[in-house]
């Protein structure tokens, strides 16, 4: 029986979506296009549903000069992908449209030069590599017309973005972790993951001096979204020990395992 042919080795290919298809197709005529707000003129990449500057909704893919300045880079020396041989440069470039401090930035590769010659401030221009099915990948090479370094953005004072606290009261001041439990760990335990989860739960409940009937809330991570890394989510953990919670939380969009703990703390502090 004939097998399915895998992807060709080499540069990873993007998968255009409704939001990104225009960007990946824009190089067909050799012109780099990115999104621009038609109200305030702010450039952005990727295209957003709302302008981050004026909150306008009229966002249009607009031609650029295809010139940029290298504002960050690294040189990869590991052979991660077949046919994509190191060393190669992964760089962040700031396009020259607009003010340098708010310029749109692209993550790209610097090509057609020795990786050792790449530097912060280097001025570059776009070149396109044809990809799969109408995709044009924007890469950048040294700009022969601009041998001197370009202007660099100033470090941003992020304090101006911070909002003051609405209250001096903090939720963590009204919560205490009173019990901790851990199951056996190992790669070859040959034990059902849910059984291990129950072991840890019972250990934590006992450590807190409580019983299963005292438990009225349940917070888990990552739920059913990660095969092979999950206890099964809210329903199995609730069902096996016959917990009857009044509040539950579970999902993969939390900030890791600590996210489930913080969600539980918020629940306790709010009553």
| pLDDT band at 68; cut points 50, 70, 90 | very high
Q: Name the pTM for this structure.
A: 0.70
**Phi/psi zone of residue 86: left (φ > 0), alpha (ψ -120 to 50 degrees), beta?**
beta
Please tell me the distance from the alpha carbon of residue 177 to that of residue 211, in angstroms, as a whole number: 16
- Annotated domain spans of the chain: 21-151, 171-269
Report angle CA 245, 251, 253 to the nearest 5 degrees.
Answer: 140
Answer whether residue 75 shows pLDDT above 70: yes
Answer whether residue 215 shows pLDDT above 50: yes
Non-local CB neighbours of 138 within 8 Å, separated by 6+ positions: 27, 32, 106, 108, 126, 127, 128
What is the tens place of the pLDDT at every residue in 245-266?
Answer: 899 888 777 777 888 899 999 9
What is the tens place of the pLDDT at every residue in 224-243?
Answer: 665 556 666 788 888 888 88
Q: What is the mean pLDDT of residues 203-223?
A: 91
């Amino acid at each position: 029986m004939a097998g399915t042919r895998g992807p060709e080795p080499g540069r990873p290919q993007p998968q255009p979506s409704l939001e990104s298809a225009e960007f990946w197709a824009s190089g067909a005529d050799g012109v780099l296009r990115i999104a621009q707000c038609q109200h305030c003129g702010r450039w952005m990449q990727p295209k957003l549903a709302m302008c981050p500057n004026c909150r306008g909704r009229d966002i249009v893919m607009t031609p650029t000069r295809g010139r940029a300045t290298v504002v960050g880079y690294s040189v990869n020396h590991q052979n991660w992908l077949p046919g994509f041989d190191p060393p190669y440069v992964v760089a962040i470039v700031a396009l020259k449209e607009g003010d340098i401090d708010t310029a749109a930035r692209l993550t790209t590769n610097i090509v057609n030069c020795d990786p050792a010659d790449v530097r912060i401030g280097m001025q570059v221009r776009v070149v396109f590599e044809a990809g799969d099915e109408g995709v044009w990948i924007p890469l950048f090479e040294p700009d022969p017309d601009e041998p001197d370094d370009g202007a660099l953005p100033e470090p941003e004072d992020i304090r101006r973005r911070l909002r003051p606290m609405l209250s001096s009261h903090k939720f963590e001041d009204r919560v205490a972790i009173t019990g901790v439990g851990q199951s056996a760990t190992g790669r070859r335990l040959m034990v059902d993951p849910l059984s291990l989860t129950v072991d840890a739960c019972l250990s934590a409940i006992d450590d807190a001096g409580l019983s299963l009937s005292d438990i009225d809330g349940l917070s888990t991570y990552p739920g059913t979204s990660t095969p092979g890394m999950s206890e099964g989510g809210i329903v199995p953990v609730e069902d096996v020990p016959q917990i009857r919670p009044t509040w539950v939380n579970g999902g993969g969009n939390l900030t890791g395992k600590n996210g489930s703990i913080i969600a539980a703390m918020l629940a306790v502090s709010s009553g």
